């Protein structure tokens, strides 16, 4: 890589998540204002803005910043890659500072799904996609992976349900999470079938929310006098390899590609990571991504979960905020909010759900499901203090 | 591809779609593979140019794909696109053909009856409705025998 500057996160903000009456632009504004307040800077200090949104329309970023009176004062660039949009917005802000164009930039992810989508419908791959034409929805594609994972590893459906149990438990004291607290395997398995073997409580909910991340150069960090700033050790974006042949659907090529890029960029490996927020849109995702990101060998993901390696007190805590299984998954927002929560963890601000001693935090969010790719995109961040 | 359907006769059943599926008069239907004359790779569906970035040839030869394949994975789907409600629950799966091509398709049969490794063969039938509510006929797979 060329001469990139170190980049730090100086301010974060998020809304509570749930089915909300505020549209995406109001949610975005709340997150932006919270992040600016958190950073202790003026809006005038922000030199560029990147906004991730999946489905709410065009020029969504300008719509967010217009009502804050900031339009005309800085370039606003809209970033879209389905579920990866919010993380990609943060990545874009990172690049802007790393390359020395700006001293301070902001990445925002915002989405209101519930005001715009029909209830009971499921997100599908892009329009015109051949698999979507034949009825593919994202949950069906993950159900196919789950069915195959069960076939190959002998995992039981009740074991998959334990991912929801863990993540909802993690979220219990998180004020921003939506669906949280105690839930039993029996309740999960007896909830409505969505796509075999995945029941309703094994799927992320259609929710709304926003997150914002302000990034800055080392000079700014010094001026602000931040004692232990959170550093972006890696910010990696990859696109999904394409082939119409036989892919291993119990693996995830784009996730592995993204993780390896992030490990190389940061010099930090999976053995050094203290916590991970991953794209746990469905229960099957976690064991699959433990493996794909190199936290265990192929086929051992479920063992990691069952032996408690991925909860508090274990080797590496996955989804300490509660993941998408607790927050729900507003397409444009999730990737940004994972980073917001990871920053809070590294600052030790997560009372009641703090990962003790966390010094490195990873976030991973894929995007889209175009035919011939496992996902169209993947954005991976590693943060450290 | 979806655009082409809309341009068809929307008041009648629609056939999807000539680049994908052939239904000969006296023989069973088959899927059309598209073999690149530049690099030899077999594609489904049709791409032009060849998506191999070292090739990008526009010269494709149509070859019939095997009518039989193996289920890589299958699921019964109870939630879907709003326009497909009357087809729910929908059984879908990946079918691996001997030519090295994986097809995402609807499966015809009983809910809960498909397992990884099942041998299936190509059939035709309604897969969804056109904008006027008439069925669109295309390929599906059902268990052999």
The CA distance from A329 to A345, in Å, is 20
Q: What is the DSSP letter of A281?
A: S
- Peptide bond just before B89 cis, omega within 30 deg: yes
Tell me the pTM.
0.95
Which phi-psi region, left, alpha or beta, contains residue B116 (left: φ > 0; alpha: ψ -120 to 50)?
beta
- Is residue A37 within 8 Å of A45, Cβ to Cβ? no
Contact B104 A371 (CB under 8 A): yes
Residue B16 touches chain A, beta carbons under 8 Å = yes
B135: buried, middle or exposed (CB in 10 Å: 19+, 13-18, 0-12)? Answer: middle
Residue B36 touches chain A, beta carbons under 8 Å = no
The CA distance from A112 to A377, in Å, is 21
Contact A140 B75 (CB under 8 A): yes
Chain A residue whose CA is closest to B127:
A134
B138: chain A residues, CB-CB within 8 Å? 134
pLDDT tens, residue order, chain A (385 aa): 568 999 999 999 999 999 999 999 999 999 999 999 999 999 999 999 999 999 999 999 999 999 999 999 999 999 999 999 999 999 999 999 999 999 999 999 999 999 987 766 667 766 678 898 898 889 999 999 999 999 999 999 999 999 999 999 999 999 999 999 999 999 999 999 999 999 999 999 989 999 999 999 999 999 999 988 999 999 999 999 999 999 999 999 999 999 999 999 999 999 999 999 999 999 999 999 999 999 999 999 999 999 999 999 999 999 999 999 999 999 999 999 999 999 999 999 999 999 999 999 999 999 987 888 999 999 999 999 9
pLDDT, tens digit (0-9, with 9 covering 90-100), for B64-103:
999 999 999 999 999 887 778 889 999 999 999 999 999 9
Nearest to A378 by CA among A136, A370, A323: A370
Look at residue A127 in the predicted model and tell me its pLDDT.
64
A131 CA: distance to closest CA in chain B (Å): 6
Look at residue A42 in the predicted model and tell me its pLDDT.
97
Site of tokens 């990147």: A50
The CA distance from A204 to A222, in Å, is 40
Which residues lie below 8 Å from residue B56, measured CB to CB, with a gap of 6+?
B38, B49, B50
Beta strands in chain B, from DSSP E residues, in sequence order: 14-15, 21-22, 30-36, 42-43, 60-64, 68-77, 90-97, 101-108, 119-129, 135-143
From B3, B80, B116, residue closest to A135, measured CB to CB = B80
Contact A147 B82 (CB under 8 A): no
- Is residue A368 within 8 Å of A125, Cβ to Cβ? yes
- Is residue A287 within 8 Å of A202, Cβ to Cβ? no
B105: chain A residues, CB-CB within 8 Å? 134
- How many CB atoms within 10 Å of residue A189? 17
Q: How many structural domains are present in chain B?
A: 1
A124: chain B residues, CB-CB within 8 Å? 81
Size of interface A-B (CB pairs under 8 A): 107
What ranges in chain A are assigned the alpha helix state H? Answer: 24-39, 60-66, 85-98, 130-133, 138-153, 157-170, 185-189, 218-224, 253-266, 285-292, 301-306, 323-327, 334-346
B55: chain A residues, CB-CB within 8 Å? none
From B44, B74, B106, residue closest to A134, measured CB to CB = B106
SS3 A193: strand
Query: What confidence category does residue B7 fall into, taking pLDDT thresholds of 50, 70 and 90?
Result: very low
The 3-class SS string of B82-108 reads HHHHHHCCEEEEEEEECCCEEEEEEEE
Token pair, residue A2, equals: 């060329």
Domain covering A7-117+207-230 in this structure, CATH number: 3.40.47.10
- Beta-bridge mates of residue A76: A49
pLDDT at B11 over 80: no
A83 is catalytic: yes
Residue A124 touches chain B, beta carbons under 8 Å = yes
Q: Establish whether domains A7-117+207-230 and A134-204+233-384 are of one fold.
A: yes
The CA distance from A339 to A212, in Å, is 9
Compute, in degrees rounded to 10, the torsion defined by CA atoms A198, A202, A208, A211.
Answer: -120
Pairing of strands B90-97, B101-108: antiparallel
Q: Which of A116, A132, A196, A253 to mutate to test the interface with B (most CBs of B within 10 A)?
A: A196
Contact B77 A120 (CB under 8 A): no
Contact A134 B128 (CB under 8 A): yes
A197: chain B residues, CB-CB within 8 Å? 75
The CA distance from A299 to A301, in Å, is 6
From B45, B112, B116, residue closest to A130, measured CB to CB = B45
A370 CA: distance to closest CA in chain B (Å): 12
Rg (CA), chain A: 19
Compute, in degrees rounded to 10, the torsion defined by CA atoms A73, A75, A76, A78.
Answer: 170
Token pair, residue A100, equals: 């020395």
- Is residue A310 within 8 Å of A317, Cβ to Cβ? yes
Chain B residue whose CA is closest to A242:
B51
Residue A139 touches chain B, beta carbons under 8 Å = yes
A194: chain B residues, CB-CB within 8 Å? 77-79
- How many CB atoms within 10 Å of residue A37? 11
ipTM, interface predicted TM-score of the complex: 0.93
From B43, B92, B96, residue closest to A246, measured CB to CB = B96
The CA distance from A282 to A284, in Å, is 6
Q: Which domain holds residue B15?
A: 2-143
- Is residue A83 within 8 Å of A279, Cβ to Cβ? yes
CATH class label, A134-204+233-384: alpha beta
Chain A, 209 to 268: residues with Cβ < 8 Å from chain B are 242, 244-247, 249
A73 CA: distance to closest CA in chain B (Å): 41
The CA distance from B73 to B95, in Å, is 8
Chain B residue whose CA is closest to A123:
B81
- Is residue A241 within 8 Å of A43, Cβ to Cβ? no
A72: buried, middle or exposed (CB in 10 Å: 19+, 13-18, 0-12)? Answer: exposed
Q: Which of B73, B76, B100, B135 to mutate to test the interface with A (most CBs of A within 10 A)?
A: B73
B104: chain A residues, CB-CB within 8 Å? 130-131, 134, 136, 371
Residue A128 touches chain B, beta carbons under 8 Å = yes
**Per-domain residue ranges of chain A:** 7-117+207-230, 134-204+233-384
Query: What confidence category does residue B145 fall into, taking pLDDT thresholds of 50, 70 and 90?
Result: confident
- Is residue A108 within 8 Å of A212, Cβ to Cβ? yes
pLDDT at B3 over 90: no
């Amino acid at each position: 890589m060329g001469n990139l500057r170190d980049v730090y996160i100086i301010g974060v903000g998020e809304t509570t998540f749930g089915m909300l009456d505020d549209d995406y632009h109001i949610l975005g504004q709340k997150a932006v204002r919270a992040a600016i307040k958190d950073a202790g800077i003026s809006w005038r200090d922000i030199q560029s803005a990147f906004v991730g949104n999946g489905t709410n329309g065009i020029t969504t970023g300008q719509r967010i910043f217009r009502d804050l009176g900031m339009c005309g004062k800085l370039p606003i660039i809209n970033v879209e890659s389905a579920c990866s949009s919010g993380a990609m917005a943060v990545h874009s802000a990172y690049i802007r500072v790393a390359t020395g164009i700006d001293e301070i930039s902001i990445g925002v992810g915002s989405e209101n799904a519930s005001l715009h989508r029909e209830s009971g419908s499921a997100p599908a791959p892009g329009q015109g996609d051949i698999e979507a034409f034949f009825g593919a929805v994202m949950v069906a594609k993950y159900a196919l992976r789950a069915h195959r994972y069960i076939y190959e590893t002998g995992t039981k459906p009740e074991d998959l349900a334990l991912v929801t149990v863990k993540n909802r438990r993690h979220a219990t004291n998180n004020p921003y999470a939506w669906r949280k607290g105690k839930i039993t395997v029996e309740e999960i398995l007896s909830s409505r079938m969505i796509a075999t073997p995945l029941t309703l409580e094994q799927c992320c909910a259609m929710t709304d929310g926003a997150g914002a991340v302000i990034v800055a150069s080392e000079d700014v960090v010094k001026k602000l006098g931040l004692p232990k700033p959170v550093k972006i050790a890696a910010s990696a974006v990859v696109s999904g390899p394409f082939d119409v042949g036989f892919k291993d659907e119990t693996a995830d090529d784009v996730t592995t590609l993204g993780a390896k890029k992030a490990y190389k960029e940061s010099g930090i490996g999976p053995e050094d990571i203290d916590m991970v927020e991953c794209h746990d849109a469905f229960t099957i995702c976690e064991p699959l991504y433990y493996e794909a990101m190199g936290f265990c060998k192929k086929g051992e993901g479920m063992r990691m979960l069952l032996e408690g390696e991925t909860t508090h007190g274990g080797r590496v805590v996955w989804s300490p905020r509660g993941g998408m299984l607790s927050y729900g998954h507003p397409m444009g927002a999730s990737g940004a909010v994972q980073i917001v929560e990871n920053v809070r963890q590294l600052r030790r601000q997560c009372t009641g759900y703090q990962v003790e001693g966390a010094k490195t935090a990873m976030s991973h969010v894929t995007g889209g499901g175009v035919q011939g790719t496992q996902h169209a995109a993947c954005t991976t961040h590693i943060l450290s203090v | 591809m979806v655009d082409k359907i809309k341009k068809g006769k929307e008041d009648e059943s629609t056939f999807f779609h000539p680049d994908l599926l052939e239904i000969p008069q006296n023989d069973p239907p088959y899927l059309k593979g598209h073999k690149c004359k530049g690099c030899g790779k077999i594609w489904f569906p049709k791409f032009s140019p060849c998506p191999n970035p070292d090739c990008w040839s526009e010269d494709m030869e149509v070859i019939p794909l095997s009518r039989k394949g193996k289920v890589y994975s299958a699921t019964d789907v109870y939630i879907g696109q709003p326009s497909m409600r009357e087809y729910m629950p929908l059984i879908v799966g990946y079918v691996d053909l001997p030519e090295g091509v994986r097809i995402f398709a609807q499966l015809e049969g009983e809910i809960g009856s498909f397992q990884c490794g099942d041998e299936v063969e190509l059939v035709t039938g309604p897969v969804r409705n056109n904008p006027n509510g008439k069925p669109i006929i295309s390929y599906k797979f059902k268990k052999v025998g």
